[in-house]
Amino acid sequence: MAKVKAIRGMNDILPHETPVWQYLERQVRAVLSSYGYSEIRMPIVEQTDLFKRSIGEVTDIVEKEMYTFEDRNGESLTLRPEGTAGCVRAGEEHGLLFNQAQRFWYQGPMFRYEKPQKGRYRQFHQIGVETFGMSAADIDAEVIMLSARLWKNLGILDAVTLQLNSLGSNENRLKYKEDLVEYLMQFHDRLDDDSQRRLKSNPLRVLDSKNESTQQILRDAPVLADYLDDESREHFSRLTDLLDQAGIHYEINSRLVRGLDYYCKTVFEWVTDKLGAQGTVCAGGRYDGLVQQLGGKATPGVGFAMGIERLVLLLETLNTIPESEKVSFDLYIAAESKEAQSDVMQCGEFLRDQIPGLRIKTHCAGLKNINSKARQTGAKLILLLQKGEAGVVGTLWSEAELIAQVPLSGLPSLVAQQWQLIK
């Protein structure tokens, strides 16, 4: 019988890969907690309407990327394609948003029916940040600063650039859309097919087009920055001042519009040229109208989401993961002789009691070629037990180098000391 396989574009993350994921997740958590953000966990499935109403009917996600199905009750449900909508829904439902200042983060799988390729999958993972109730540009700056700090801690700051734009208010965008459509209509036949379609449904997205001929036409198109009202302009200049003060470099990209309908004022992306076409590792912006659009009282919001697969790829490409993060344990314990075999488990427990944090793997199989087997595990420290007249004796090795042979009682201090050296 043919074997069942995983669904295309949905990946297993294998044991040799998870240490990098855990390292990345740990770094993100540390940065987020240093800014006082709290974790929120939402369901993976929501009512389809939630995404239609928030993301927008004429976006790539809603038009062609959602995993939507009917449950046994005939209700239309969708696997979440992103986290913001669910976070707003949860915040509203539990009264966490109106008239409050909130900083949340979440992590987990997202689902989009896309063409799978490097850095683009059907199940992928995001860590996202959402803030509510703060309308000044300080919070826009904060979410950017915390992402910059994360890149610095991960050693990838030099490999990413910050692209920044302001979309202004809804009214600003409406006026701009009219003029953009009028301009593009003159060149309708020279636009690529996607852009011709978007011209009708979601004209701002034409700015995203990678098509050479469309790009050429766009060069003389009206620029959104010229349409911003005073408030949006001041907001943006406060943001760039704060980024300047923090020493964060950015490029203003007047074509940056983002795929989702709900953004206003600030939009940004962190982009790398190290991953080919899938170069955006983190993207976000301000969404002041979203809470209201979903039935709540007007509450400003700013957030972003980063793509974990792309960040893992970047860390691997740049080889910035510390060696110590790639192994899942520190010490391997095995018996050197049959008599000592029954002491291995006990010794493991003893050392775990004595040295909190030490990661121990015990040998639970046969004793043949025990020396080379222990080394094949990639262990930095190997402890081999023997039973003598006076009880259990352990020989500690640091890879191929003999450290010392001591009785059981001497092991905690010896192992602890050697562990500090390899850490």
Judged by CB under 6 A, which stretch of 88-96, 101-109, 302-310, 332-340 contacts ligand ATP? 302-310
Report if residue 325 touches ligand ATP, rule: CB under 6 A: no
Identify the bridge partners of residue 381 per DSSP, sorted by sequence position.
Answer: 331, 398
Residue 139 interacts with ligand ATP (CB under 6 A): yes or no: no
* By the rule CB under 6 A, 259 interacts with ligand ATP: yes
Verify binding: residue 314, ligand ATP, rule CB under 6 A: no
* CA angle (236, 240, 246) in 5-degree steps: 145
Rounded distance between C-alpha atoms, residue 101 and residue 37, angstroms: 11
Q: Does the footprint of ligand ATP cover residue 310 (CB under 6 A)?
A: yes
Residue 147 as a binder of ligand ATP (CB under 6 A): the answer is no
**What string marks each residue from 100 to 129 as x (binds ligand ATP by CB under 6 A) or -?**
------------x-x----xxx--x-x---
- One residue of 283, 333, 381, 384 binding ligand ATP per CB under 6 A: 283
Dump strand ranges (E) for 190-319. 251-252, 264-272, 280-286, 301-307
Give every CB contact of residue 296 below 8 A, 6+ residues apart in sequence.
Answer: 88, 92, 97, 98
Which residues are within 8 A (CB) of 87 and not within 5 positions of it... i.e. 6 or more apart? 40, 42, 104, 106, 128, 130, 303
Helical H segments across 296-343, by residue range:
308-318
151, 41 contact by CB (below 8 A): no
Contacting residues for 132 by C-beta, under 8 A, at least 6 apart: 91, 96, 97, 100, 101, 102, 104, 291, 299, 300, 301
H/E run at residue 236: helix 230-245
User: Binding residue per annotation — 122?
Assistant: no
281 near ligand ATP, rule: CB under 6 A: yes
Query: Annotated binding residue at 112?
Result: yes
Residues 15-74, interacting with ligand ATP (CB under 6 A): none
Which x/- pattern, by CB under 6 A, does the window 67-106 give for ligand ATP? ---------------x------------------------
Which CB atom, from 148 or from 305, has the smaller least distance to ligand ATP?
305
# binding residues, ligand ATP (CB under 6 A) = 18
When computed from its CA atoms, the radius of gyration of the chain, rounded to whole angstroms, is: 27
User: Which residues are known binding-site members for L-histidine?
Assistant: 82-84, 112, 126, 130, 258, 262-263
Residues flagged as binding site: 82-84, 112, 126, 130, 258, 262-263
Footprint on this chain of ligand ATP (rule: CB under 6 A): 82, 112, 114, 119-121, 124, 126, 259, 278, 280-283, 305, 307, 309-310
